[in-house]
Amino acid sequence: MRIYIHVPFCARRCSYCDFAIAVRRHTPSAAYLQAIHTEWLLRKDLPRWREGGAIQSVYFGGGTPSRLATDALATILALLSSDHRLAPECEVTLEANPDDVTRDRASAWFHMGINRVSLGIQSFEPRVLEWMHRTHTPDQVAPAVETLRSTGFDNLSFDLIYGVPGSRARDWESDLDRALDLDPQHLSLYALTIESHTPLARWRARGEVVSAPQEDAAMQFLVANQRMVAAGFEHYEVSNAAKPGFRASHNSGYWKGDPFLGLGPSAHSSWQDRAVGDGAPYGGGKRHRAWNRREWEAYRLAVAQGRDPLEGVETLTAAETLLEDRYLGLRTDAGVPSRLIPAENWAAWEREGWAECTDERVRLTLEGWLRLDALVAQL
- Give the integer Cα–Cα distance in Å for 256 and 272: 12
Judged against a pLDDT cut of 80, whether residue 308 lies above it is answered with yes
Alpha helices in 51-102 (DSSP H): 70-83
Residues in CB range of 355: below 8 A, 6 or more apart: 346, 349, 362, 363, 364, 365, 368, 375
Residues in CB range of 349: below 8 A, 6 or more apart: 355, 362, 364, 368, 375
What's the pLDDT score for residue 213?
80
pLDDT digits (tens, 9 = 90+) for 214-246: 888 999 999 999 999 999 999 999 999 999 999
List Cα–Cα distances, 259 to 247, 249, 379, in angstroms. 18, 13, 25
Domain ranges of the chain: 2-252
What's the pLDDT score for residue 304?
95
Q: In whole angstroms, how large is the CA radius of gyration of the chain?
A: 21
Question: What is the DSSP secondary structure assignment for residue 213, as one 8-state letter?
Answer: P
What's the pLDDT score for residue 207?
81
At 93 the three-state DSSP class reads strand
- Give the integer Cα–Cα distance in Å for 90 and 54: 9
- Give the integer Cα–Cα distance in Å for 160 and 365: 22
> What is the band of 168 on the pLDDT scale with cuts at 50, 70, 90?
low
DSSP character string of 149-169: HHTT---EEEEEEE---GGG-
List Cα–Cα distances, 169 to 122, 127, 191, in angstroms. 15, 8, 17
pLDDT digits (tens, 9 = 90+) for 50-63: 887 899 999 999 99
> What is the band of 165 on the pLDDT scale with cuts at 50, 70, 90?
confident
What's the pLDDT score for residue 276?
40
Are the CB atoms for 266 and 43 separated by under 8 Å?
Answer: no
Burial class (CB in 10 A: 0-12, 13-18, 19+), 8: buried
Q: What CATH class is the domain 2-252?
A: alpha beta
Are the CB atoms for 68 and 7 separated by under 8 Å?
Answer: yes
Judged against a pLDDT cut of 50, whether residue 282 lies above it is answered with no
Judged against a pLDDT cut of 60, whether residue 145 lies above it is answered with yes
DSSP character string of 284-323: SS-EEEEEE-SSHHHHHHHHHTT---EEEEEE--HHHHHH
**Residue 263's beta-bridge partner residues?**
5
> Which strand (E) or helix (H) includes residue 145?
helix 141-150
- Give the integer Cα–Cα distance in Å for 360 and 344: 15
> Number of helices (H) and strands (E), helices first, in the chain?
15, 17
Judged against a pLDDT cut of 60, whether residue 291 lies above it is answered with yes
Sign of dihedral through CA atoms 177, 181, 182, 186?
positive
